[in-house]
Amino acid sequence: MDEPNAAAATVPPVLDREQIDGLIAAAGVDGTKSILDAFWRSTDTLFRAMQDQLARGDVAEAARTAHALKGSSLNVGATQLSCSARKIEEACRRMDAPCALDRLNGARAEYGDTVAAFAAHLANAA
């Protein structure tokens, strides 16, 4: 059965502001920037790994990598990126590598929006 149009059209916010504000409250702005720097490095590594895994047809490993990205994104409050990682993971679990690759490319496009949203939020918190 197809998803209702309203559910299919629902796009999560780029950031979970409560989550990022919790990080700022716990670690301060500079500490949060350090956490995010580690997250960006990890995300870059995970994107490259998924690209390689999908290119060689290892969708099971790509699903595990997408799962890792989903969790790390949620931990820092990157809601939209986490949702995209979930969709990559789901496509991999269906053994649909072309769909997973398409979703990976979409997640990469969202990545820049996520970086910019965090930068703006942190600038306002300083």
- The average confidence (pLDDT) of the chain is 91
DSSP three-state, residue 20: helix
Q: Is the pLDDT of residue 29 over 80?
A: yes
Tokens read off for 66: 């997408």
How far is CA 120 from its chain centroid?
18
Residue with tokens 């870059």: 44
User: Rounded mean pLDDT of 29-42?
Assistant: 96
Is pLDDT at 83 greater than 70 in this prediction? yes
The structure's pTM equals 0.88
